């Protein structure tokens, strides 16, 4: 609701705005002539990105496995690899991307205001965000959901066995509500231990004040990997809520959204057809399957249709590998299993439309 009035005010504040530009950092984008009118800029992220020569990607300020800088300050993680994949698709070079760390509070503004081009930051796809916030979600690249962690010594194998258990949970989020709903639906009785702060709730679980700890599976995995002996804790296979995490872009630029969307599908299809970082060159030359030929740009004109180079797919895989490789590299070390993120051919939910 802020946005329309904001735009109007903007024009009135042109004078102040020019002063502000002068004060602003000499980022390359600002060395371009005066900013284009809002409407034109909104529909032209794709051209703006190409003209700038780098993609600006909003990522988490630090979430194990998804986005975190390593000891040398280089960003690593699942969401970060997606950003590199976009850069590889658009520019043929995975290094042409800038990472802007965003917090849970300022992530949406960063995207709305154009501070970032795409938000690749473990954000749940919901109807209200898709519509009233004015974003386009480009396809779930990680199916998260609320799960349970128990101590291995308890011998619990499924969530059904938690009847009568004490469960640690943080208040205020949807987590608590999901837990209650699930318990009612499955007729399970439990005693909640509600603790506000993350460290304290984890401490309570470790100290044995509750039998199980519940939050999103990715969060459980991160907590588990931080323990002295991760193997002492088991994440149960049951997932009781839907948290589809998806990259998102501003609404109103279908061309850019298409690129972001199809890079994800490229990663999935590459896994499906067995194209990896190691064998992509060989596949490009030798594989006779027509879909592989089209994906890697030897046949068809798919890249051109997206407004990209025909070799975009080969560039993406060469730079960062396929979906399975990204998963192995980033999420396996924190103890996450493929689960619902397996390919549809392996009983999971990850499914790519055909490349033709």
- Nearer to other proteins by Cβ, of 216 and 287: the residue is 216
Quickly list DSSP for 95-146.
T-EEEEEE-TTTHHHHHHTTS-SEE-S--B--HHHHHTT-EEE---SEEE-E
Min dist. Cβ of residue 215 to other proteins (A)? 16
- Nearer to other proteins by Cβ, of 18 and 346: the residue is 18
Min dist. Cβ of residue 295 to other proteins (A)? 33
Say if CB 246 and CB 138 are below 8 A apart.
yes
Cα 26–Cα 29–Cα 34 angle in degrees, nearest 5: 95
DSSP state of 53: T
Min dist. Cβ of residue 111 to other proteins (A)? 10
- Nearer to other proteins by Cβ, of 22 and 288: the residue is 22
Min dist. Cβ of residue 249 to other proteins (A)? 13
- Nearer to other proteins by Cβ, of 216 and 271: the residue is 216
Q: Which long-range contacts (CB under 8 A, 24 or more apart) does 226-229 make?
A: 226/64
Say if CB 230 and CB 202 are below 8 A apart.
no
- Nearer to other proteins by Cβ, of 27 and 278: the residue is 27
Q: What's the CA dihedral at 31, 32, 34, 37 to 10 degrees?
A: -130
Min dist. Cβ of residue 317 to other proteins (A)? 26
- Nearer to other proteins by Cβ, of 43 and 293: the residue is 43
Min dist. Cβ of residue 44 to other proteins (A)? 9
Q: Which residues form the interface with other proteins (CB under 8 A)?
A: 2-3, 6-7, 9-11, 13, 17, 20-21, 23-30, 35-38, 41-42, 48, 61-65, 68-75, 98-103, 105-106, 109-110, 112-115, 222, 225-228, 333-334
End-to-end CA distance of the chain: 40
Say if CB 160 and CB 185 are below 8 A apart.
no
Whole-number Å distance between alpha carbons of 242 and 206: 26
């Amino acid at each position: 609701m802020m946005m329309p009035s904001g735009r109007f005010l903007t024009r009135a504040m042109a004078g102040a705005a020019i002063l502000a530009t002068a004060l602003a950092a000499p980022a390359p984008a600002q060395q371009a002539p005066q900013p284009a009118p809002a409407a034109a800029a909104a529909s032209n992220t794709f051209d703006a990105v190409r003209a700038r020569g780098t993609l600006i990607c909003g990522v988490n300020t630090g979430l194990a496995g998804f986005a975190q800088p390593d000891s040398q300050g280089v960003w690593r993680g699942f969401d970060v690899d997606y950003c590199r994949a976009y850069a590889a698709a658009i520019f043929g070079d995975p290094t042409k991307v800038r990472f802007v760390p965003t917090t849970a509070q300022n992530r949406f503004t960063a995207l709305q205001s154009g501070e970032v081009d795409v938000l690749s930051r473990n954000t749940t796809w919901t109807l209200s965000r898709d519509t009233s916030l004015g974003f386009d979600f480009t396809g779930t690249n990680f199916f998260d959901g609320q799960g349970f962690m128990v101590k291995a010594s308890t011998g619990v194998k499924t969530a059904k066995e938690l009847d009568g258990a004490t469960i640690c949970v943080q208040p205020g989020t949807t987590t608590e509500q999901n837990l209650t709903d699930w318990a009612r639906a499955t007729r399970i009785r439990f005693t909640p231990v509600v603790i506000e702060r993350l460290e304290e709730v984890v401490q309570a679980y470790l100290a044995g004040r509750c039998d199980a700890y519940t939050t999103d599976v990715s969060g459980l995995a991160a907590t588990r990997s931080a323990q002295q002996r991760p193997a002492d804790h088991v994440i149960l296979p049951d997932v009781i809520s839907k948290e589809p995490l998806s990259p998102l872009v501003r609404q109103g630029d279908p061309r850019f959204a298409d690129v972001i969307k199809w890079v994800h599908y490229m990663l999935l299809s590459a896994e499906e057809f067995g194209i990896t970082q190691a064998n992509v060159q060989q596949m490009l030359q030798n594989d006779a399957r027509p879909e592989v030929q089209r994906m890697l740009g030897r046949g068809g004109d798919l890249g051109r249709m997206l407004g990209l180079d025909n070799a975009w797919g080969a560039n993406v895989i060469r730079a960062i590998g396929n979906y399975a490789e990204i998963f192995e590299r980033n999420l396996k070390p924190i103890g996450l299993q493929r689960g619902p993120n397996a390919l549809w051919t392996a009983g999971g939910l990850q499914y790519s439309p055909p490349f033709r």
